[in-house]
Amino acid sequence: MKEYVYADNAATTRLSNKAFECMLPYLQNEYGNASQLYSFARSPKKALKEARQVIATCIGAQPSEIYFTSCGTESDNWVINGAVQQHLPIVTSSIEHHAILRPCESAKRCGCSVSLLPVTKEGIVLSSSVKEVVHSSCGLLSVMYANNEIGTIQPIKELATIAHENGWLMHTDAVQAMGHTRINVRELGVDMLSASAHKFNGPKGIGFLYIKEGVNWPALIKGGTQENGLRAGTENVASIVGMATALEENVISICENESHLAHLEEILISNLSRSGIAFYRNGAENHIKGNVSLSFPNRSGESIMHRLDLKGICVSTGSACDSKETQISHVLKAIGLEEMLAKGTIRISLSKYSAEHDMMKIVQVLVGILKEESVN
């Protein structure tokens, strides 16, 4: 198999060895339906309970507040569709993931009030912008914890306070942040939070939605009693166990991981700066470590991505969750990035498994590609 330098961890991450090992028993031996009453179901039922407790502990929640879903997109859709069912006005930001924006577009077509907040050139939602639109008796404010394209971290605690002062509920899409920076739902003051396992070294096809106790939210899927009757369907025990294991593993080493990623960022940026290649870094100083959005003036980000791929280096252009989109992303437009920079944007996203020699190879190959293009 060809060796790759994988630098697209904001798109998906490698399954941790520990998570993989913990999943195996529930795929082959302890495969009983956790909803059944016979003894063969006891082990998976116990595993489900323990996984819920682990995840709750990791984010400062109660086990009863954790609802398992298939992914972050499902969790986000559950939140927006629930607001629509209750006829709540929705306020969100202009740089949200499409898992929020697309359901909001549908909500608007159904007659629901939807407002999009502007952001600064660093991609930050200002509290003053929120105060201008969050002022009716009840509604939903949904702002992502960290942006998937540029890594900017939002002032969620401050925004949640504004929401609650006006009688609104606060949701945050924490898919890019979960397992990569410390998150405590009680300290943040959020009412709902979305997460997806494959973004923090867990398996694909599993996620969760935190719903604060006392928040009465409509069911997503009806037909069974699973997830307190709010999300019916036989539980994916193996993946749930893998998700809990991976999250706990990352939370335990979160300071170490953040320090490692900050170090790798420094190597990447400093060596690229010394190369003489012109570039601009997008995002804010307060960002998810390892998420590096770079714009090269008058270049093609798509061309750079493909040429890096030929050299065994995986990066993305714009949002990697939708690789068919080749136009300038809505995020880069929202931060007001000039077209000549926006078209030449790539995202390099690192992980705890990334190494210093990976950074040196990325810089070496990237600089070679850009200098060759300049000559031609």
**Architecture of the domain defined by 17-252:** 3-Layer(aba) Sandwich (3.40)
Point out the catalytic residue in the list 58, 71, 112, 321. 321
pLDDT for the residue 319: 45
pLDDT for the residue 92: 98
Every domain of the chain and the residues it spans: 5-13+254-375, 17-252
pLDDT for the residue 373: 74
pLDDT for the residue 321: 47
* Burial degree of 333 (CB within 10 A; 0-12, 13-18, 19+): middle
* 3-class secondary structure per residue, 148-208: CCCCEECCHHHHHHHHHHCCCEEEEECCCCCCCCCCCHHHHCCCEEEEEHHHCCCCCCCEE
Tell me how far CA of residue 124 lies from CA of 170, 222, 243, 274, 291, in angstroms.
17, 37, 29, 29, 16
**pLDDT 10s digits, 176-208:** 999 999 999 999 999 999 999 999 999 999 999
pLDDT for the residue 238: 98
Amino acid at 300: S
With tokens 């969050």, the residue in question is 134
pLDDT for the residue 327: 81
Q: Does an H or E element contain 194, and which?
A: strand 192-196
Nearest to 251 by CA among 323, 174, 363, 163: 174
Structure tokens at 137: 């008796």
DSSP letter at 14 equals: P
Intervals of the chain under pLDDT 50? 319-321
Distance between CA atoms of 55 and 195, rounded to whole angstroms? 11
Is 321 noted as a catalytic residue in this protein? yes
End-to-end CA distance of the chain: 32
Distance between CA atoms of 148 and 190, rounded to whole angstroms? 20
Distance between CA atoms of 150 and 125, rounded to whole angstroms? 14
**Architecture of the domain defined by 5-13+254-375:** Alpha-Beta Complex (3.90)
